[in-house]
Each structure stands twice: as structure tokens, then as C-alpha cells.
Structure 1
């Protein structure tokens, strides 16, 4: 009997069973980790405030462009007709395109897109009126720091002014993170030329999890390049040129989790296999003909705070990175928008409305 017990122990008897589809696993100490991370990010913002500078977003600091749009939900198959997508509909929208780290559009970088829908029945907002549904995207399908522990180490390195140390610290090297970060950075000709991924998972009704993607609609004209590709704002100019002449279309798609181990909820550095579970279109985002390079258009996105927790309950964020985002984005967004409004002479009492993040 003693031998059988030993063999059972060695075989892993008594270990936590593997997660089910859509199941989260909250690590011990995650709340304390999130509080410490929020404190360090606010510390970075305070350094900018103390010098009288505007506080930039911790991530995706440059607003490349800010455009109004319409989001259309078509009739969908039963497994897709959930929450926001349960019925055909049209929603007014706002989309912010951004650079992850660089102010110069000519540099290699990760690109971002943040999308807000207005007037979504059942959507709950952390700040501002109800009915706001936010989606956050990056131009690479994986995060280089995909767990709360990894992201905390990254924030610590940034706060200490040693970003490089996160990747090459000999006591805790991150070669996989470094490879993801290097692969994610690229040059771009237009915000519309990128495919964007949510990287983190979300509920899609009870017992289901998905990741989101945003890309040019099938059959849409090729994105226009800027007439001045050597300009540091050439991505903004490219989109401005295109929307001055007509509309642009982006397809909103979902990818279902089909294997809870190969497609983990708690590690956003793992790409979900698109061959095992292809993305399926569920919505269409139309950017209207408009002027997107005006000070007013850019200021609208600068004064707002995207948060994935502005959401319909059927699409609640999942995973450790998303759980951290809730408090971090609220605190950092309030700090940034209040200080920057004071600098610009605007009222600092108006609540922030959007923020993007890791």
C-alpha cells in the first residue's frame, strides 16, 4: 500500500485538475501584486507631474489618429449570437490608433487600436454613462509579459529606468519575452494595414472564451500610404488622406478557445492556434469620411480612458492581465486626465472615459 501511495504521489495524484473551457485560475497574492503595480505606475506619472509635463499613457502613448465610426452587427449563427452580438444592430463608435512606445511613426514599433462602442444595451461602465463597450488591441497576437508576475517585473524595470533589465537580468532572464518583443516591432505604412489582436481572452457567454481580432475587410481597397513617408507623423497622414477621400472598413472577428491547456486563459504570451480555431467575423467597423488630424479630433482621444471592464457581462474580461487592468487603468487614467486637463486649462472634474494598456 505504501508503494501504491508513493507511485500515486509521483504520478501527480491530488494535483489541481486542468482548467475547463473559459475557467480562470487566480494566483495567490494577485491582489497585492496588482496594488504594488498600480503604485509603481502612479509613481511614474507623478514624476511627469512634478516637472510640469503632461502625463503620457504608460503604454501606447502616441495617439496616431482618432476616428469616429459605425459598428454593425449582422445576423449571426446561434453560437455567435451572444451579448452584444445577440441581435443585428448599429452602434456609434470611436477608435484610437496608437504607437506602443515611439513618437516617430517611422520607427519600428508595436501598434495599438482601442475601440469604444456607445449605447450597447446591458454594457456596464466603470466611469461615465452606461452602455459603453471597450475593446483593446495590439498588432501582435501575444504579449511579451503575459502573466501578472511577468508584467510586474516589467513595470518594476520601467519604474527604475532600466527597461532593458527586464529582458537581460542574469538572475531572471526573459529570452522568450525578448523574442516576442522583437517580433512584435515593425514598420507600418498605415493603421489600416495592420491586423490587430486582443491578446487577452474574454467571455463569450457562459462557459465560452474568445480572443478578438480587427483587420481590413475582405475585398476592401488596399490601405493608402502617406504622401510623405519620411514624416514622423506619416501614419496619421496616411489615414487622414484615406478618410478625406472616403470610408474605410475593418472586420471584427472572434476566435473560440477549444483547448484550455493549449489556449490558456492565464498566459497572454501564448498565441491561440488559428488553424485549430479560426477567427470568425461577427461585426463590421466603418470609419466615416472625416478629418482625423485636427486638434479637436486628437484631443478627444487624449482626454479619454479605455478600459476592457467597460463591458457587457457576456463579454467580461478573463485572465490575470485583464484582472490587473481594471484597477490600474482606472487609477492611471484618472491621474493622467486630471493633471493634463489642469495643464490645458480644461476642467479637471470631468470623469475620464478611456485608456489602453498592456
Structure 2
């Protein structure tokens, strides 16, 4: 059996985006005030990643005449929602988007993590990408500075499974070195990276509205740093009647056919830098040191979720953001270029307009 066949779907299709700094050499400079430490060769690594993933998207297009996302390919549906910033937040949390209590329109895309549109019974990461509309302020992407959106991207795990660039190099060599080499890496990292990977793989999700989602990587919260999470509101009930290969989309549609759902959107501030690293996304920021605090409520009303092109024409990136919520850390820095270039290519190949609201 090939290495690709023995790897969990998250590794097979998504590891390029979670280990994004292969071969990086860390610069001997002090961390920034936000805790970032940028590798000396990150620009070179980023260019290599963009090239590799462009080739992946292009080859898929050549095969079937339609360009798809390189990860989080299968959408369970895009839904309309209301993102309401809570009133009377503590001053430390009332920053950026959360500075003023008000309601925003938002679109949410629920998805799997794989680059394949596979059976929902297979273990995989699950994604929740929230696009908040009508957000004032200059945005971070150079060609979309006047856009009115703030995106919050999350998955159903608080951590990734690769520590840093050096570990990723070892991982990549192991995955291309044969079955014994791959098994050796998994065994050698059994109590941390492999455990994280298996935990992601083993999470059972039947309805995407029933899962908690985390940013996994940090962002700014004004002059502070944060991670964020969306958790189903207490007391929620969930539709779970479908058990087909598309059960996540079926159960999402079933629940919203006659009812709604809601999530508490929460932030966790970086209270202890020594145990809450910016550049190591395998380390969970422990809630006992800094609990998640609700700052907004996401309300999803009864509706028919968008499918097909109406859902897929949308682009989501953590860099659809205002400066007060700038993404932090190496994975987010590389995502800036990767997500932008792949979005441009996908829309170009499909002849679709690429317009950020």
C-alpha cells in the first residue's frame, strides 16, 4: 500500500497547508511585540508553496475542466447568518470589530478538510469559515483595502499537528521515504504530533452545527493577541437523521428546513506568553490560564443552504481582516500568499468574477 493511501485524509490533502514553512531557517532576531519570529528564508518557502499548490489546482482543472479548492474542497453548505457583537464588553476585549455593539450580516461556509470530495464517514477535519459583512476600516490585502469583510476561519480542533519548520522537514522526508519511514515518524512523534493528528482524525461530526470550532492560530486583538472559537449555544438540539455519505450537508439542510442554530463566538487572550506561543500551533492555549470569553453571538435562521457555484465562488482567508485583527504566526503569514494566489487562479480558470463584498 502506498504512503498516500496509508495517511489520514488530513495529511494526504491538507498537510501542505498546515506545515507551510518546510525547510525554514529561523532568523536570529528578537520576537516582535506580538511574539512573532520570522524565519530568514520564509519568502523562499512561501514562493515554493504557492508554486506547488498552483500546480495542484492546475492539474485538477486540466483533468476535469473545473478548478476546485486545494483543501476544504467539499462544502456542506453556505448559510446566511447574523453576527451580533455583544454589549458591555470589558475594554480589553472591546477592540477592533468588537469595539461597538451591533449586528452584522455574515455568510458561513461549512466544509470538510480534505482536498477530496469524500464520504462524510471518513475521519477528517471540519471547517467553519465566517465572513462578516459591512466591516469598516482599511483591510490588510493590498488589492482589497476597501473591502467590507472580516473573515474568521476555524476548524474543529484547537491545534495543528506540526510544531515548526524543522519538524516539518523531518515529516516531509518521512512521508516520501517509504512506508517504514512514515511509520517511524508516526511512532517517533506518538505522544504529541501524532496524538494531535489522530485526535483530529477521530472526531466524529454528524451535523456541522453541533461542533465547536477554533482558529488554531493566533491573531491580534488590538494591542493584545488572541485565539477565537465558535461553540454551539448551550441547550441547542441538532438534527441527525441522515447517515448517508453526505450526512453533514443533509443534516445541516434538515435542521435549517424548519429551525435555526446559534454559536457563541469567543476570544481567548494571550495571558502567559511563556506557555502560549505564537509560532507553534501544536501548543494549545490552556483555558485554565486564559478562558474563552463570549464577544459575539452567531444566529443562523431557517433557510435552504447555498450549494454549487453560489457557495464556491466565495473566497475565505484570515487576511480579509482589519489591522486590529491581523493574523499572527508563520502559518498565517504563508497563508496570506497561498490563499490569495490560489483564489485568483481558481476564479480565473473557472471564468468566475472574484469580487470581495
- State the alpha-carbon separation in 2 of the partners of residues 163 and 77 from structure 1: 53
- State the alpha-carbon separation in 1 of the partners of residues 326 and 302 from structure 2: 32
- Counterpart of 2:354 in structure 1 is 351
The 1:253–1:170 alpha-carbon spacing in structure 2 relative to 1, beyond 3 Å, is closer
> Deviation at 1:144?
1.3
- Counterpart of 1:106 in structure 2 is 121
Between structure 1 and structure 2, the one with the greater Rg is 1
2:219 is equivalent to residue 198 of structure 1: no
- Counterpart of 1:11 in structure 2 is none
- Counterpart of 2:63 in structure 1 is 51
The range that moved more, 80-89 or 22-31, is 22-31
> Deviation at 1:277?
0.7
- What is the TM-score of this pair, normalised by structure 1? 0.82
The range that moved more, 100-109 or 39-48, is 100-109
5+ residue gaps, structure 1: 1-15, 343-347
- State the alpha-carbon separation in 2 of the partners of residues 166 and 81 from structure 1: 49
- Counterpart of 2:149 in structure 1 is 132
Tell me which of 217, 220, 223 is aligned to 2:233.
217
Give the aligned length.
Answer: 324
Residue 283 of structure 1 aligns to a residue whose secondary structure is strand
Residue 334 of structure 1 aligns to a residue whose secondary structure is helix
The 1:300–1:313 alpha-carbon spacing in structure 2 relative to 1, beyond 3 Å, is same
For the aligned residue pairs, the C-alpha RMSD in angstroms reads 2.9
- State the alpha-carbon separation in 2 of the partners of residues 87 and 118 from structure 1: 15
> Deviation at 1:122?
1.1
- State the alpha-carbon separation in 2 of the partners of residues 91 and 283 from structure 1: 10
- State the alpha-carbon separation in 1 of the partners of residues 99 and 316 from structure 2: 23
- State the alpha-carbon separation in 2 of the partners of residues 279 and 183 from structure 1: 21
The 1:232–1:214 alpha-carbon spacing in structure 2 relative to 1, beyond 3 Å, is same
- Counterpart of 2:263 in structure 1 is 250
- What is the TM-score of this pair, normalised by structure 2? 0.82
8 Å contact kept, 1:123–1:310: no
- State the alpha-carbon separation in 2 of the partners of residues 157 and 170 from structure 1: 6
- State the alpha-carbon separation in 2 of the partners of residues 123 and 215 from structure 1: 29
- Counterpart of 2:336 in structure 1 is 326
8 Å contact kept, 1:334–1:352: no
2:277 is equivalent to residue 264 of structure 1: yes
The 1:353–1:173 alpha-carbon spacing in structure 2 relative to 1, beyond 3 Å, is farther
- State the alpha-carbon separation in 2 of the partners of residues 44 and 172 from structure 1: 29
- Counterpart of 1:345 in structure 2 is none
CA deviation map 1:266-288 (0-9, x unaligned): 01111111111110000001112
> Deviation at 1:45?
1.3
- State the alpha-carbon separation in 1 of the partners of residues 172 and 67 from structure 2: 16
The 1:170–1:271 alpha-carbon spacing in structure 2 relative to 1, beyond 3 Å, is closer
Tell me which of 298, 323, 341 is aligned to 1:285.
298
